[in-house]
Structure 1
Amino acid sequence: MAGNKRIMKEFADIQANSPPGCTITLPKEDDLLNWEVTMDGPSDSVYAGGRFKLAVALPKEYPFKPPNVSFKTKIYHPNVSNDERGSMCLGMLRADEWKPPNKIVEVLKLVRAVLAAPQPEDAVEPGIANEYKNERRAFDKNAKEWVSKYAK
């Protein structure tokens, strides 16, 4: 399995040089397809001080198919679904935009960048996106409340 070698190498690389504010573990040591990420909210964002759990599920066809990234910690964000799935909308993760040379470390850096700078034009939660664009103070207040409620 070429994919497994690639995944093992990526996991080793990410352990040695993880993106800022991220800790990556394998919930089950013998399962390389499911990663658990703990990500600190970027210090210059409304998510500062929060610790968010994410699940990264790699398809068997990885790197030819994109990983699935979902938030296990509830987060008030226009690009993350507000349900128990916590799915994230990122262009890079769409099947038609994913490229095999992409790596998980790049995905995690992008996730963190989107935390710092939400992309309301690519929202999965239109109501939150509208609030972000039109009532920024209300958005900031709600996002911070969710951080203190769910992300500690």
Structure 2
Amino acid sequence: MAIRRIYREWQHFVEDPMEGISYGPPPPLDDFFYWDAIIEGPVGTPYEGGTFILDVVFPMEYPVRPPKVKFKTPVYHPNISKKGLLNLDILKDSWYAGLTLPKVLLCVRCLLVDDINADDPLEPDIACLYKTDRAKYEQTVREWTKKYAM
């Protein structure tokens, strides 16, 4: 069941790609349970110009269980840990089988736009800076983006 669903999602993406997001199994295409995803830094944000690479691992029980999604590229963000882990409800408690990887990646991209939950951070120091000195926070985001994602 999982492999058919994963393949269908990928086929749909190939037919109807999403702006600023790409994903699929890396070559040699021999394991459909391990994918790479790329999210371009959204225009008009401090992440603009960056290319952020993520690991996606589908469980054998997909879509009943959510994929594991983790940033490979370091990202300065209150809801993304320094190890690349995401604090995103749809990857935990709010997951349901009707969600798809494209929807998950769209939510991840929204985190980079301004869907920040500074009251439930994975990185409390970054959340504090976000709340108290937005200009310095955005400057640091730009520095990290330039250093790690360009």
**Normalization by structure 1: what TM-score?**
0.93
Structure 2: segments with no counterpart, 5+ residues = none
1:20-99 map, 5 Å: 20-27=19-26, 28-83=28-83, 86-94=84-92, 96-99=93-96
Amino acid at match of 1:111: V
- State the distance in 2 between where 1:67 and 1:18 align: 20
Match of 1:151 in 2: 149
- State the distance in 2 between where 1:19 and 1:80 align: 22
- State the distance in 2 between where 1:13 and 1:45 align: 28
Please give the per-residue CA displacement for 1:59-114, whole angstroms capped at 9, x wherever unaligned: 1110000111110001101111113xx111101110x3210010111001100111
In the TM superposition, structure 1's runs of 4+ consecutive aligned residues that sit over 3 Å from their partners are: none
- State the distance in 1 between where 2:120 and 2:13 align: 28
Match of 1:142 in 2: 140
State how many pairs are aligned. Answer: 148
- State the distance in 1 between where 2:137 and 2:30 align: 41
Match of 1:100 in 2: 97
Displacement of 1:25 after TM fit? 2.7
User: 2:37 aligns to what SS in structure 1?
Assistant: strand
- Relative to structure 1, the CA distance from residue 43 to residue 98 in structure 2 (aligned partners, 3 Å threshold; closer, same or farther) is same
User: 2:70 aligns to what SS in structure 1?
Assistant: strand
Aligned residues of 1:18 and 1:105 also touching (Cα < 8 A) = no
User: 1:24 aligns to what SS in structure 2?
Assistant: strand
Structure 1: segments with no counterpart, 5+ residues = none
Aligned residues of 1:53 and 1:73 also touching (Cα < 8 A) = yes
Identity of aligned residues (%): 36
Displacement of 1:23 after TM fit? 1.8
Match of 2:111 in 1: 114
RMSD: 1.1
User: 1:69 aligns to what SS in structure 2?
Assistant: strand
